[in-house]
Each structure stands twice: as structure tokens, then as C-alpha cells.
């Protein structure tokens, strides 16, 4: 008896990735909503857990640490995140079509996530910490942190590229370095006095929810392409 011919059009997908992504999206969205509600209902100023990290950061700023923090924070805005997203897309794909699709998808995910974050920032219009505590210049409002959101989004895209390239098993050292960098970008904003810790936590929650929604969207696209794409 002849063995059945596998459907080569349908891309392999990790089992359970869809339900896991939905759980992550709901959990991260709930975390962001809780922080946002707390910010709206609380009196003007920091939340109870914001004051300690801010006070410690302002009181522990040797010049070498400030130089490192400024360098780290600069990687979380402007050109670097998009350059990393493009490199991640090029690394994720194995063919020219896959690379082009990954680059476009990663760049779109990052740009759309930043647009959503900017809209939320203006909607909440939360003031930053006192300007006298700032170690760098800043504009606009504070919640959620733009650097924390962008850094987490970019880190998530880099992790996705590693997972796609290595069949769902990204190298541990590379993945750990990506996670440390993403966290460092957000924490540098607290250390430099530009954001409250709650701003950073909200940025991480927002980025996590957005990345999980991107995973669900990519899976839906993969199913559509499997039905309508070429063999």
C-alpha cells in the first residue's frame, strides 16, 4: 500500500502555540489594564512601588554607570530597533521569499506597536518624574514607557527569529542575551530618572500582548497561505 503524500504546502507549526499565545495576550493585556486603571484612579504622582526605585536610582549615579545607561537607552529608540528588526527578519528566513516576508512582518509589527503605544501615551497623559532628576532629555508623556515598549518588542522579534531559524529551539545563550538587553533598555529609563517603574512595567505588558497578537496573526496568515499559496 502506498504511503500518503504529506501536504507540503502547510507550514509546520508548534503544537499548542495558538492557545499559549492567546493566554499570553490575555494575561499581558490584563496586566496593562490593571496598571492603567491604577494610574488613572491614583492621585497625581508615582504609584506606591514607584518611589523606591526612583529614589535609589537618583542617589546612585556614578559617571561610568550613567555612561552605560545612556548607551543602553539609546539602543531602544530611533533607528537601532528597526535595524535589529530587519536583521532579525533576514536571519529568520531561509529563502528570499521567506526573508522578505519576515522583514516586512517584523517591521510592520514594530511600527504598529509603536503607533499604539504613542496613542495610549497621549490618552493617559501621565507626567514624567520631576525634571530635576532627569539624566537625559525627554519629550512627551510617561505612560507607557516608549523605550521599554520598543525594547521589549524588538527583543521579542529577535527571539522569534531565533526560534524560526532553529525550529523552535533558540540557542539559550543568544536568547538570554536578547532578554537581558530588552530588560536593560526598560530599566535604564528608571535609572536615568525618565520614567516611573510602573511606566516600564506597562510598556513590557503592552509589548508582550502585542507580540502574542502578532503570533496569532502570523498563524492565521500561514493557514491562509497554505490553502491559497503555491504547492
Phi-psi region of 33 (alpha: psi -120 to 50; beta: other; left: phi over 0): alpha
Distance CA 163, CA 218 (A): 14
Quick one: cell of 199? Answer: 511606566
- CB-count burial class (<10 Å; 0-12, 13-18, 19+) for 160: buried
Residues 6+ apart with CB under 8 A from 229: 9
Query: Is 166 annotated in the active site?
Result: no
Return the half-sphere exposure (C-beta side, CA atoms, 13 A cut-off) of residue 100: 3
- Mark whether 54 is an active-site residue: no
Helix or strand (DSSP H, E) at 91:
helix 79-92
Q: Are 153 and 210 in contact (CB under 8 A)?
A: yes
Between the CA of residue 101 and those of 155, 219, 222, what are the distances in Å? 19, 13, 11
Which of these is catalytic: 54, 60, 137, 195?
195
Residue pair 189/195 in contact (Cβ under 8 Å)? The answer is yes
The catalytic site residues sit at 147, 195
Amino acid at each position: 500500500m502506498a504511503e500518503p503524500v504529506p501536504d507540503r504546502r502547510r507550514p509546520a507549526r508548534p503544537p499548542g502555540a495558538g492557545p499559549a499565545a492567546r493566554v499570553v495576550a490575555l494575561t499581558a493585556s490584563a496586566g496593562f489594564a490593571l496598571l492603567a486603571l491604577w494610574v488613572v484612579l491614583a492621585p497625581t504622582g508615582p504609584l506606591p512601588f514607584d518611589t523606591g526605585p526612583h529614589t535609589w536610582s537618583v542617589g546612585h549615579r556614578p559617571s561610568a554607570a550613567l555612561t552605560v545607561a545612556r548607551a543602553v537607552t539609546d539602543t531602544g529608540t530611533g533607528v537601532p530597533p528597526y535595524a535589529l528588526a530587519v536583521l532579525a527578519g533576514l536571519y529568520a528566513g531561509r529563502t528570499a521569499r521567506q526573508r522578505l516576508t519576515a522583514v516586512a512582518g517584523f517591521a510592520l509589527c514594530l511600527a504598529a506597536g509603536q503607533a499604539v503605544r504613542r496613542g495610549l501615551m497621549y490618552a493617559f497623559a501621565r507626567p514624567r518624574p520631576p525634571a530635576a532628576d532627569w539624566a537625559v532629555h525627554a519629550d512627551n508623556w510617561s505612560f507607557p514607557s516608549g523605550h521599554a515598549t520598543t525594547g521589549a518588542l524588538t527583543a521579542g522579534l529577535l527571539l522569534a527569529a531565533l526560534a524560526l531559524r532553529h525550529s523552535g529551539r533558540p540557542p539559550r545563550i543568544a536568547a538570554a542575551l536578547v532578554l537581558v538587553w530588552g530588560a536593560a533598555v526598560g530599566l535604564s529609563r528608571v535609572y536615568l530618572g525618565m520614567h516611573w517603574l510602573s511606566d516600564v512595567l506597562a510598556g513590557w505588558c503592552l509589548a508582550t500582548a502585542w507580540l502574542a497578537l502578532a503570533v496569532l496573526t502570523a498563524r492565521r496568515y500561514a493557514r491562509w497561505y497554505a490553502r491559497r499559496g503555491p504547492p
